[in-house]
Structure 1
Amino acid sequence: MHKSRQENMEWLRANLRTIEPGQGVEVGLFRPEDGEGVALLYYAIYGENFPLDYVYDPDRVRAANAAKDLYQYVGRTPGGEVVGLSALFPAAPNPAILETGGLMILPSYRGGMLAMRLGKATPGTLPEELGLAAVFGQSVCDHVLSQKLTRHFGYRPFGLELEAMPERPEDSTDGVGGRISLLDELRLLGDCPHTVHLPPPYADHLRATYAANGLQRHFADGATPQTPTEGTRSAMDHAALAKLHVTAPGTDIDDALAAFEAAHPGRHAWHLHLPLAHPATPHAVEAARARGYFYGGLLPLWTGTDVLLMQKLATAPDFSLPRLLSEEAQALFSAIRSDYDKVVGGTESAA
């Protein structure tokens, strides 16, 4: 049986240590003896606010790496202390997409080349060896360091999840404060041309996104749904975030959304994934917009075919907080803000 989150927190609080700065750092694949150091690094940077429990549990970190559910790259000192981290791990229903993320550098080891070395190691040759269609990444938007790295390695922005993560600890020197938005980026390694049904409010932006990224799609009209909605739910309780992954939008999509929100009350954010390959998705978008959901972006090949991301927030977002580096990311942000204004109408709450 795994230790509870609280048990791991008690161990981390008791074992948090100061690592002498200025030491040489080796970058390599995770080794079992790195488990405690990885958990301590998460605690040193995020305190107790990271939404996934397993990162605070050395045994679960070791197990995930051993099972090939996780490919972590570690920056370690000569004494084996972990001062940097990056990783590849499953994130999408499509097994041919792995996420690169978890890039973290201990504050006393920033300013050098460690972030670049870790960023280069993670997408290196492994994605091609694994036969991946794409590598997915999420850059925090309370600073631009990770966006600089992803842009350097050929990632392109496709979605922006507003205020999806809790704010950093009060004593953190990172970021600009407030809840953290996430920029969804992909480095595409291949394509799978297929038919998509573009919702009219987002058709222009989606067509432009496809063209800018060289993705071949056939555009077809939508159709009225004939069957009940099918999908699954997931939640990240510590982030106050819930997601509805729709595989077939149906005649009861409004009821499905109401049931989803009722099952996950008190959230800051609700995310909706809709299959663009399904002809009923334009109908579902109309229903979602009527309930306060607004544009989030495109997730190419997310399920093997493309997915539309929509999002809803309990309170009006602080649009002054996201820090976005590229013109493409800024254009995406403008499209999202414009749709929010149309859907929510500038009110203080979308709940």
Structure 2
Amino acid sequence: MENQNQWNIDPGQEWVVDFFRPEDAEGVVGLFLSVYGREYPIRTYIDPELLVRENAAGRTVSSVARTKKGDIAGHMALFCSAPFQGIKECGAGLVHSSYRKEGVSSKLLEHVWEISAPRSGVECGFGEAVCNHVFMQREVYSRKAEFSALEVDLMPATAYEKEKSAPGRVASLFASRTYRPKPHQVFVPAVYKNALEYIYSGLDDKRELLISGKKPAPVSSTRIDVSYFGPAQVSRMAVWEIGSDFPYSIGHEEKKVLDQGALVLQVWLNLSVPWIDASVQLLRDKGYFLGGIFPRWFGSDGLLMQKIVKRPEWESIHIHFDRAKRIRDLVYGDWLGVSA
């Protein structure tokens, strides 16, 4: 058993927020281990050599709160996690337990959203604010990011066991901020017309909403990129192209991830596809329900559909803002509809 005291740092030190340096790696890893233990599902942040390589390559751009002694009191990063590499996620944020009432998280968010993202040439930044508390929701909103989706049961309960901050799986609110506008057309499935009109009404880039209704070519191929996160039991399927073989393709990929133990299945559909309507109906027939909009997910926008193998932890979702509560109600209502 590991000695938990090895990750302690002296409280009360002065600190500054700065870009990551290679010599920070051990401190960042110690910070993650002190909060989450070795069950944290993303290896980048618990392997110092990997963290250095990812930052050197620009795939991860870490910001840290560093004391004069070189201790790491906080961390946050931009990193590539979307199908389209022109946008980056703001995440992997945490603060040492001895520094949680000193504004570290706010300063890290400011550095990432206001300095790191523009300097990195990001077209759109996004974040996932967990819903076992409302603190991060307020912080993300303060950086001019707007909510557009609810990812139900995204994070595993094991990630929160060490600090006992959640009784089960944890949902996340998806929020994004545009740095380089790209107005474009999106094709909306009829069943979600009202819901998506509401979600789009609050975003910071313009879209022309058209009702989907066309059919794919009689002989055309579906293209799906699948990622499976074993420790979290989450599968993510990015559907770039919807072909006539979509029913077979999605069924085949779904079976594979279920056989691996997936509990949370996320499917993103490319809203630039004019015949998206039939695909949405097929997914709803299979138990998938609305998640919301992921702006610029494919370069164009993505529509999240999600399926939870067990009953979702609805009662544990804490939401602060009225708009986000409305999105939750839309998602919950659709889950009720497909579960009936």
TM-score, normalised via structure 1 length: 0.90
- Residue 102 of structure 1 and its aligned partner are, at CA, apart by 1.4
Aligned to 1:349: none
The answer to whether the aligner puts 1:78 opposite 2:68 as a matched pair is yes
Relative to structure 1, the CA distance from residue 33 to residue 57 in structure 2 (aligned partners, 3 Å threshold; closer, same or farther) is same
SS at match of 1:111: coil
SS at match of 1:103: strand
Structure 1 residues 219-298: aligned runs within 5 Å:
219-226=210-217, 227-265=220-258, 266-298=261-293
Aligned to 2:136: 146
Q: Aligned equivalents of 2:151 and 2:3: distance in 1?
A: 31
Aligned to 2:18: 28
Q: Aligned equivalents of 1:209 and 1:198: distance in 2?
A: 12
Q: Aligned equivalents of 1:194 and 1:104: distance in 2?
A: 36
Q: Aligned equivalents of 2:37 and 2:335: distance in 1?
A: 32
Aligned to 1:6: none
Q: Which moved more, 1:17-26 or 1:331-340?
A: 17-26
The answer to whether the aligner puts 1:44 opposite 2:34 as a matched pair is yes
TM-score, normalised via structure 2 length: 0.93
Q: Aligned equivalents of 1:108 and 1:189: distance in 2?
A: 34
Aligned to 2:325: 330
2:132·2:171 contact (CA, 8 Å) conserved in 1?
A: yes
Give the partner amino acid of 1:170.
E
SS at match of 1:158: strand
- Residue 218 of structure 1 and its aligned partner are, at CA, apart by 4.2
- Residue 325 of structure 1 and its aligned partner are, at CA, apart by 1.3
Q: Aligned equivalents of 2:201 and 2:150: distance in 1?
A: 19
- Residue 14 of structure 1 and its aligned partner are, at CA, apart by 8.4
The answer to whether the aligner puts 1:311 opposite 2:302 as a matched pair is no
- Residue 72 of structure 1 and its aligned partner are, at CA, apart by 0.7
- Residue 162 of structure 1 and its aligned partner are, at CA, apart by 0.6
Q: Aligned equivalents of 2:290 and 2:224: distance in 1?
A: 19
* 165, 171, 186: which one aligns with 1:196: 186
Give the partner amino acid of 1:231.
I
1:29·1:72 contact (CA, 8 Å) conserved in 2?
A: yes
1:69·1:90 contact (CA, 8 Å) conserved in 2?
A: yes
* Structure 2: gaps spanning 5 or more residues: none
- Residue 297 of structure 1 and its aligned partner are, at CA, apart by 0.6
1:253·1:287 contact (CA, 8 Å) conserved in 2?
A: no
Equivalent pairs, count: 334
Aligned to 1:123: 113
Aligned to 1:170: 161
- Residue 224 of structure 1 and its aligned partner are, at CA, apart by 1.7
- Residue 220 of structure 1 and its aligned partner are, at CA, apart by 4.0
Aligned to 1:301: 296
- Residue 208 of structure 1 and its aligned partner are, at CA, apart by 2.0
- Residue 171 of structure 1 and its aligned partner are, at CA, apart by 3.7
Deviations 1:218-266 (A, max 9, x none): 4143212222322111111110001111111122322222211221122
2:145·2:176 contact (CA, 8 Å) conserved in 1?
A: yes
Deviations 1:124-151 (A, max 9, x none): 2332333322111111111111111111
- Residue 53 of structure 1 and its aligned partner are, at CA, apart by 1.6
Aligned to 1:17: 7
Give the partner amino acid of 1:110.
R
Q: Aligned equivalents of 1:178 and 1:295: distance in 2?
A: 21
SS at match of 1:16: helix
Aligned to 2:99: 109
1:157·1:183 contact (CA, 8 Å) conserved in 2?
A: yes
* 177, 181, 188: which one aligns with 1:187: 177
* 149, 152, 159: which one aligns with 1:159: 149
1:47·1:169 contact (CA, 8 Å) conserved in 2?
A: no
Deviations 1:166-193 (A, max 9, x none): 11343414x3321111111101223322
Relative to structure 1, the CA distance from residue 292 to residue 13 in structure 2 (aligned partners, 3 Å threshold; closer, same or farther) is farther
Relative to structure 1, the CA distance from residue 257 to residue 16 in structure 2 (aligned partners, 3 Å threshold; closer, same or farther) is farther
SS at match of 1:123: helix
Give the partner amino acid of 1:295.
L
- Residue 59 of structure 1 and its aligned partner are, at CA, apart by 0.3
Q: Aligned equivalents of 2:212 and 2:314: distance in 1?
A: 33
1:250·1:280 contact (CA, 8 Å) conserved in 2?
A: no
